Amino acid sequence: DAAAQARLLQLQLRQSQGWHVFVEMSSFDDYELLFDVVKSQTKMFVAYLTQDTLTRPACAGALTMAHLAHTVEIRTVWTRTFIPPTEKQVEDIYNFVDITGTALGRNGITGADVQAALTANSLTRDSSNAIVVPQNAIEIPKEVPNVARIPFVAARLAGEDYLDQEQIARTIPTDAGNIILSCDPDTSEAVAACAIILAKVG
């Protein structure tokens, strides 16, 4: 549910930092290759958290593998739709994430491993069911408009402050032959998709 946002973040980090970024998508089903890349060829693992991210075996497995590697920096991006699992859901991890029915188990990842990764990265609610955003997480402030969210995240991942508000406001060009994209500014995926198109044709 955040494919366009992930692709746009990939473009932003490549252009601004020169980073090589691999985006793990739901269509990627070579778990053995994915986990090998995470544990042996990855410097930073970024979990872009939306409503269903942690219930997806590939994402939960990759996060767990990064945690088990002990050499990979793990960063989490909390979008507005992400709600961390409750303690009960984490205790019942086999119903929260499909582990036995997927390649997670075949690649040596257990339910206890996933539980440890979620707990270590503060991706669960506390005993009072409260949601506490960890200090090292990137939470997108409500006042940041959709058009600026991905640049904001990219800057934070690079350890920079995103203060250039002029990048948010774009003037309408007046020369002939323009292509104008119209999208819902309140929909993150639509804004990200338009930004990707602009990057490709601009």
Q: Is the pLDDT of residue 106 over 70?
A: yes
Q: Is the pLDDT of residue 70 over 70?
A: yes
pLDDT tier for residue 116 given thresholds of 50, 70 and 90: very high
Calpha distance 8→94 (Å, rounded): 32
Cα angle for residues 160, 132, 112 (degrees, 5° grid): 100
Secondary element (H or E) of residue 104: helix 103-106
Calpha distance 48→22 (Å, rounded): 13
Calpha distance 112→187 (Å, rounded): 36
The pair of three-digit structure tokens given for residue 41, joined into one six-digit string: 């060829």
Query: Would you state the pLDDT for residue 68?
Result: 94
pLDDT tens, position by position, 6-62? 888 888 888 888 888 888 765 566 788 888 889 999 999 999 998 888 998 888 999
Higher pLDDT, 137 or 185: 137
